[in-house]
Chain A
């Protein structure tokens, strides 16, 4: 006779990814390598910020970059042109990077010769927030042209990040972006989030951003 039964499971679907991410985090800590996961929509300025960060911190920290895109080598080529090792992950369709992908990328970097690894995640404000990469800190960029209402539309990303960079402040004069409102909304959801305002064009705010990074790595 066919028996129908209910089986109690209560298991997190992403637990495999979480476990690997935790292992990566431990391993990097033991090797004294600080990894940052940088996330944002496409075009917010992740690559520009990474290039500006490299130029300011390259003498103090040995930096490596993991580039994540659906396709193309464009970003990793820019990074390599700065004299910094880069690994390009081409997801071929996946909208985010996850721990297994990052592990593979880390195995292609000489971690003994690095102090800081920056992950440039796939341009996407939704999915990367769900997948722990094993990074020590998560940072997001929101650029001025995107608008100040994004906290309401993408709450998870704002919740999980340690820092928020409001980029392209040189556009403020062209828009009705309300910086105070954005900061208020972000802090309401995530009281501990550190907020920076930068322009990779004018250089505004980049020293403060790098100082925080310096102190956080130290």
Chain B
């Protein structure tokens, strides 16, 4: 639902790194989005297509990797995956402990850029 704010933030990060690395064009952007985040992939691409116009990132394709919701049990240390929307119970499957904390699933990251570099001096 807040894809616009996220896309604006994402574009800022991408353009900063593109400039720092003297990139000619950004072809692809790989994102890591946690399962806890209510972001719709299609809208990210749509907002991105609009906002990136006129920049070196125009036309870049987004690849969205999802990071699952993983909890750690405070009692036995077990780390386990949870299907947040379908699961009835979040307690530890090993010891039944309820002292749990979320250790992954909230990410909103730019992982990697696929770019065309500025052409340097020709070698021959």
Q: Which residues of chain A are near B36, meaning CB under 8 Å?
A: 155-156, 159
Further pairs besides A4-B116, A4-B117: 5, Cβ < 8 Å: A3-B116, A3-B119, A9-B13, A9-B113, A188-B98
Known contacts A12-B108, A127-B2, A152-B85; A7 and B98 CB within 8 A of each other: no
CB distance from A39 to the nearest CB of B (A): 13
A7 in complex: contacting residue of B6, B89, B113, CB < 8 Å: B113
Residue picked from A11, A152, A154, most chain B C-beta under 10 Å: A11
CB distance from A113 to the nearest CB of B (A): 32
What is the CA–CA distance of A11 and B108 in the complex, to the nearest angstrom?
A: 8
Known contacts A3-B117, A7-B115, A126-B38; A191 and B98 CB within 8 A of each other: yes
Q: Which residues of chain B are near A11, meaning CB under 8 Å?
A: 13, 17, 109-110
**Number of A interface residues in the complex (CB < 8 A):** 35
Are B91 and A126 touching (Cβ within 8 A)? Answer: no
Q: Which residues of chain A are near B66, meaning CB under 8 Å?
A: none
Q: Which residues of chain A are near B37, meaning CB under 8 Å?
A: 130, 156
Please classify the interface of chain B as helix (H, G, I), strand (E, B), loop, or mixed, using the class held by over half of its residues: mixed
| Residues of chain A from 129 to 179 with CB closer than 8 A to chain B in the complex | 130-131, 152-156, 159
B9 interfacial by beta-carbon distance below 8 Å: yes
B108 in complex: contacting residue of A4, A6, A14, CB < 8 Å: A14
Known contacts A127-B1, A153-B85, A156-B37; A6 and B100 CB within 8 A of each other: no
What is the CA–CA distance of A188 and B88 in the complex, to the nearest angstrom?
A: 9
Chain A positions within 8 Å of B, measured between CB atoms, are 1-14, 16-17, 94-96, 98, 124, 126-127, 130-131, 152-156, 159, 187-189, 191
22 CB-based A-B contacts, threshold 8 Å: A1-B119, A2-B24, A4-B117, A7-B21, A7-B23, A7-B112, A7-B113, A9-B110, A11-B109, A13-B10, A13-B13, A13-B108, A13-B109, A13-B110, A95-B2, A96-B2, A126-B1, A126-B2, A127-B2, A155-B36, A159-B36, A191-B98
Are A156 and B1 touching (Cβ within 8 A)? Answer: no
Q: Which residues of chain B are near A131, meaning CB under 8 Å?
A: 2, 5
What is the CA–CA distance of A153 and B106 in the complex, to the nearest angstrom?
A: 16
Known contacts A3-B117, A127-B2; A159 and B102 CB within 8 A of each other: yes
3 interchain residue pairs of minimum CB distance: A127-B2, A13-B9, A7-B113
CB distance from B6 to the nearest CB of A (A): 6
What is the CA–CA distance of A90 and B96 in the complex, to the nearest angstrom?
A: 46
